[in-house]
Amino acid sequence: MEIIVRRWLDDFNEFYVSEAVLDGYTIYPDFLLMGRALVIECDGDGWHRMRADYDRWRDRLLQANGYTVLRLPEKKIRDGSALDILKQQLGVGPQLKEAK
């Protein structure tokens, strides 16, 4: 899933990192777009259910530091509908073709 979203972000020429230190905690978001104060998480169906408490804590930490957290569900990434959500969040037009 991250590979699909990475391709979309690369096609949009978005700069992102996958590690940050906030309030003394090192966190590893899927994609942190510092210039946009945005974190994008690719939520796999099984994986994120097992760590819901940690995800909520980390979302609060990110939000307290001025970041918006965008969670893209696995189903929407795989069927391509998450691309529209991402475009809307980034304010990007329809010029990008769906990455497969």
Q: What is the mean pLDDT of the chain?
A: 89
pLDDT tens digits along 18-32: 999 999 999 999 999
* Cα separation, 40 vs 42, whole angstroms: 7
Burial of 93 (0-12, 13-18, 19+ CB in 10 A): exposed
pLDDT at 100: 45
Tell me if residue 6 falls in helix, strand or coil.
Answer: helix
Query: For residue 96, is pLDDT > 60?
Result: no
Classify each residue of 3-12 as buried b or exposed e, where b means 16 or more C-beta atoms within 10 Å of its C-beta.
ebbbebbeee
Let me know: does 92 contact 1? Beta carbons within 8 Å. no
Of 100 and 47, the one with more pLDDT: 47
pLDDT tens digits along 23-65: 999 999 999 999 999 999 999 877 656 788 889 999 999 999 9
Structure token pair of residue 85: 């959500």
At the fourth CATH level, the homologous superfamily of domain 2-90 is VSR Endonuclease (3.40.960.10)
